[in-house]
Structure 1
Amino acid sequence: MTKPIKRHIALQPWSKDHHYGLLLSWKIKKGFSLGIDPERIKKYTDWFWVNHLIPHFETEEQFVFPILGNDNSLVKQALAEHKQLKFLFEKEDAISDTLSKIETLLNNHIRFEERVLFNAIQEIANEKEVQILNKAHNGSEDFGLWDDEFWI
């Protein structure tokens, strides 16, 4: 059994967002396993992208990643994955294939940020950077506001 990650309190709001991102991946996978029409799943992923992932990516890129610097290889990887995810979420064709790619990439991306990137950030963040992080996250909203719970 793996040891739980001790997340610095200043990064915990982003980790909470990551939890909901992992749930999105699970919901996509669950929808497919239940034979749900991919259009129904896409409506939800489109909503989640606009209302949660775009703001999450923006705050990570503005406040979290600069602690390591944009030239850091871990930050470069995270930024490249953000770009790939943006492309996939905004893609309007090959819906089933695209959703499958989103499910896999989002899951792997979150695991990378939680297990590798955030650990590196919390190891070097100074007090001033921690204070900025404490003020930067605008708080997670209710991620469950969706009428068509296709995953149930």
Structure 2
Amino acid sequence: MNKFEPMNTNDTDKADYERHLEQVTELLGKEYNEALQLCRIIREGIRLNIPLQRIKNYTDWYYNSRLALHLKKESEYIFPILGDDHELIKKALTKQRRLKRLFEENDQIEKSLNRIEEKLERLIRINEKSILNEVKKCATLEQLKQIEKVYHKNRITEEWNDVFWHN
């Protein structure tokens, strides 16, 4: 038995735990896929020779309306499960800070867009494969319920109108 699982683990508790774990995995997976879609959009925009400022406008909107909130939720609700001293969390937080600086860059747009695409994909892969797997091993039912609540409460439905990647 995992030391973080509730001591009273009858079949009903285990099923409840598994259901919430599956829901959290699905919610996080959806946000990870959206972030990976941003990487594909940047690549496609550059491939189609879309003006860089147009791509930058989209990435700025995406960061401010979606990604910054996702990173904040991860930092507040996912990462604490493993702790600030966990090596994967240290790496993820460092990558988050670097990404933020890249999104804020306004002078070397092409270089920044290429690095955002590359670094965001790496961060998502680390979070998706390593951190999420570690969280699955030790999250409590209460933590899973809290993550679910936060991720359901903060769903964003606003859309971007300039879909240059469909040109």
TM-score (norm: length of structure 2): 0.82
d(CA) in 2 for partners of 1:96 and 1:65?
31
d(CA) in 1 for partners of 2:23 and 2:96?
24
Matched, 1:20 2:34: yes
Greater helix share, structure number: 2
Aligned CA RMSD, in angstroms, stands at 1.3
Matched, 1:39 2:92: no
Following superposition, which runs of at least 4 residues in structure 1 exceed 4 angstroms of deviation?
none
Cα deviations across residues 30-51 of structure 1 (Å, max 9, x unaligned)? Answer: 0010011100000000000000
d(CA) in 1 for partners of 2:49 and 2:138?
46
Which residue number corresponds to residue 122 of structure 2? 108
d(CA) in 1 for partners of 2:96 and 2:132?
15
Which residue number corresponds to residue 29 of structure 1? 43
TM-score (norm: length of structure 1): 0.90
Which one has the largest radius of gyration? 2
Which residue number corresponds to residue 148 of structure 2? 134
Unaligned runs of 5+ in 2: 1-20
d(CA) in 2 for partners of 1:131 and 1:98?
37
Which residue number corresponds to residue 117 of structure 1? 131
| Amino acid corresponding to residue 63 of structure 2 in structure 1 | W
Deviation at 1:76, TM superposition (A): 0.6
Which residue number corresponds to residue 4 of structure 1? none
d(CA) in 1 for partners of 2:135 and 2:43?
31
| Amino acid corresponding to residue 70 of structure 1 in structure 2 | D
Unaligned runs of 5+ in 1: 1-6
d(CA) in 2 for partners of 1:12 and 1:81?
23
d(CA) in 2 for partners of 1:14 and 1:93?
32
